[in-house]
Amino acid sequence: MPYDHRNTARRALALALAATGCCAVLTGCGASQASPSSGKAQETQRAQETQQAQGAESRPPLASAAPTPTRSPLPAAGGNGSLAGRTVVIDPGHNSGNFRHSTEINQKVDIGTTRKECDTTGTSTDAGYTEASFTLDVSHRLRDLLTARGAKVVLTHDADRPWGPCIDERARIGNAARADAVVSVHADGSAVGHRGFHVILPARVRGGSADTAAIVGPSRALGERIADRFARATGTSPANYLAGGTGLDVRDDLGGLNLSTVPKVFVECGNMRDPKDARLLTSSAWRQKAAQGIADGIATYLEG
């Protein structure tokens, strides 16, 4: 049979296509396999879901439908932003595990002027969204905003302990960090119709290990900045049920304030027991606004 160059070319092309096909198949098989990191992420997600389910079993009836807080990776501390060199301590109010540790959190601790329970469970919405879930979510968002501006951020806890910390320990964490500002994030549990936010400031207290003389003025300045920027960011008004509508409430019965030696305030972002406020507090978009308002207030205070 005569030698056919066309047949030879066709055979070479077929061999080349076959080799390319095998490579594609091999590449496809490799790409379809889950990477170790994605498997680990699935295991982490399953573990978180299990932990959340176990926590829901131990909560009061109202807490059964609580959505989980948004967890974000821990950003690198510090930077070249406007808050570089500054330290901010964020104190997420309560702890979801407190529901399962009533004995521990009911033990009384010294707050200088008296003794008070270590911690409480906090409140929740009618649908079961807990204050502890809310405060941790807002604290994560706040941490990220402040870190982006260059601040060093310390959390008093990150749901990494079964309960607490106690109110006296929360104060010590801020003191030990020599924080330029400490903000304790909360939501209120008042009556229906009571709406709006308020910032709690330390009163002039002296007794035992408590002496707030040095922080009353700076804490008020911090609180005023946060109240102003919180209203702007969220579009909400100061509480209509206390402090004469000023949004600034002075108290002498909170161990976290009494024992602080650095400027510190509590921010009650809204009332979880009011349906209208609850709709805001359970909105992810609104929680981001709340975190932005607090961050802006802290920044304006620290930047002078």
Q: Does the pLDDT of residue 135 top 80, yes or no? A: yes
- Looking at CATH, the fold of the domain delimited by 72-303 is given as Aminopeptidase (3.40.630)
Active-site annotation holds for 57 = no
- Inter-residue contact 248 to 216 (CB < 8 Å): no
Q: How confident is the model at residue 231 (pLDDT cuts 50, 70, 90)?
A: very high
Assess contact for 269 and 186: CB atoms under 8 A.
Answer: yes
Neighbours of 36 (CB within 10 A): 7
The answer to whether the beta carbons of residues 199 and 236 sit under 8 Å apart is no
- Per residue in 263-303, pLDDT (tens digit) is 999 999 999 999 999 999 999 999 999 999 999 999 999 99
pLDDT on residue 225: 98
- The pLDDT value recorded for residue 16 is 42
Quick one: tokens of 246? 């000023």
Gap between the Cα atoms of 28 and 203, Å rounded: 67
Residue 7, number of CB atoms within 10 A of its CB: 10
Greater confidence, 304 or 152?
A: 152
Q: What is the DSSP letter of 34?
A: P
Q: Which of 43, 117, 268, 303 is catalytic?
A: 268
